[in-house]
Amino acid sequence: MREIVFDTETTGLNPLAGDRMVEIGCVELVNRVETGRTFHAYFNPGRSMPSEAQAVHGLSDAFLADKPGFSDLCEDLLEFVGDSPLVAHNASFDFGFLNHELGVCGRSLICMTRMVDTLVLARQRHPGAKHSLDALCTRYGVDRSLRIKHGALIDAQLLAQVYVELTGGRQIGFTLPVETETASRADAPAAQGGLAPIIVKIRPPRPHAPSDEELARHAAFVAGLVDPIWNRVEGRG
Same domain, 117 and 208: no
Query: First-to-last CA distance in the chain?
Result: 58
Strands 179-182 and 198-201: antiparallel
| Residue 9 is labelled as binding a ligand | yes
Contact 139, 129 (CB under 8 A): yes
- Per residue in 40-88, pLDDT tens? 999 999 999 999 999 999 999 999 999 999 999 999 999 999 999 999 9
For residue 102, the domain's CATH number is: 3.30.420.10
pLDDT at 190 over 70: no
Domain boundary (158, 175, 192) is at 175
Residue 186 above 80 pLDDT?
Answer: no
Residues 23 and 117 in one domain: yes
Q: Which of 148, 175, 202 is the last residue of a domain?
A: 175
Q: Does residue 100 have an active-site annotation? A: no
pLDDT class of 144 with cuts at 50, 70, 90: confident
**Catalytic-role residue among 89, 100, 131, 150:** 150
170-179, 204-213, 228-237 — most confident range = 204-213
Residue 100 annotated as part of some ligand binding site? no
Range of the domain at 94: 2-175
Q: Is 28 annotated as a binding residue?
A: no
Q: How far apart are CA 55 and CA 75, in angstroms?
A: 30
Q: How confident is the model at residue 187 (pLDDT cuts 50, 70, 90)?
A: very low
126 annotated to bind ligand: no
- Is the same domain home to 33 and 149? yes
Whether residue 52 is annotated as binding a ligand: the answer is yes
Whole-number Cα distances in Å, 213 to 207, 219, 220: 15, 10, 11
The answer to whether the beta carbons of residues 6 and 27 sit under 8 Å apart is yes
Supply the pLDDT for residue 175: 43
Q: Are residues 196 and 91 in the same domain?
A: no
pTM above 0.85, yes or no: no
90 and 147, same domain (yes or no): yes
Helix (H, G, I), strand (E, B) or coil at 34: strand
Stronger pLDDT, 168 or 153, i.e. the higher one: 153
Q: How many domains does the chain have?
A: 2
Same domain? For 146 and 156 the reply is yes
What's the DSSP call for residue 230?
A: G
| Residues 36 and 138 grouped into a single domain | yes
Same domain, 85 and 181: no
